Amino acid sequence: MRRREFVNRSASAAGGVMAAPAFVRNMITRSPNERINIGLAGISGNRVKVRGMINGRGIVHINTYARIPNVMIKTVCDVDERLFPGVVTNVEKLFGAKPQTEVDFRRLLDDKDLDVISIATPDHWHALMTVWACQAGKDVYVEKPVCHNVAEGRKMVEAARKYNRIVQSGICYRSSKAVREGIKFVHDGKLGKVYMAKGTTYRYRVPIEHVPDSPIPDGVHWDLFLGPAPYRQFNENRYIYQWHWYWDTGTTEYGNNGIYRMDTVRWALNKNTHPVKIHCSGGKFCRDDDQEVPNTLVASYEYEDGIIVQNEMRSLPTNPEGLSDSGDCFLYSDLGWMTFNGNGYKTYFGTKNEPGPAKSENDIPPEERSDGWKNLIDCVRSRKREDLDNDILEGHMSAALGHLGVISYRTGRKLVFNPETEKFVKDPEADKLLTRTYRKPYVMPDKV
- Domain limits of the chain? 3-172, 174-368+392-432
Instruction: Give the Cα-Cα-Cα angle 26, 137, 140 (nearest 5 degrees).
Output: 55
312's enclosing H/E stretch is: strand 308-314
User: Domain 174-368+392-432: what homologous superfamily?
Assistant: Dihydrodipicolinate Reductase; domain 2 (3.30.360.10)
* 174-368+392-432 and 3-172 share a CATH fold: no
- Which ranges constitute the DSSP H helices of 137-221? 150-162, 177-187
CA 33 – CA 266 distance, rounded (Å)? 39
Write the CA distances from 37 to 112, 231, 284, integer angstroms: 10, 33, 43
CA 370 – CA 375 distance, rounded (Å)? 7
CA 284 – CA 292 distance, rounded (Å)? 8
Output the pLDDT for position 322.
Answer: 62
Which residue numbers in the chain have pLDDT < 50? 1-20, 28-30, 45-53
Output the pLDDT for position 274.
Answer: 98
In this structure, the number of other CB atoms found within 10 A of the CB of residue 126 comes to: 32
The answer to whether 171 and 197 have CB atoms below 8 angstroms apart is no
In this structure, the number of other CB atoms found within 10 A of the CB of residue 20 comes to: 10
CA 231 – CA 227 distance, rounded (Å)? 8
Model pTM? 0.92
The answer to whether 361 and 295 have CB atoms below 8 angstroms apart is no
Write the DSSP symbol of residue 257. I
CA 167 – CA 117 distance, rounded (Å)? 10
Fold of 3-172: Rossmann fold (3.40.50)
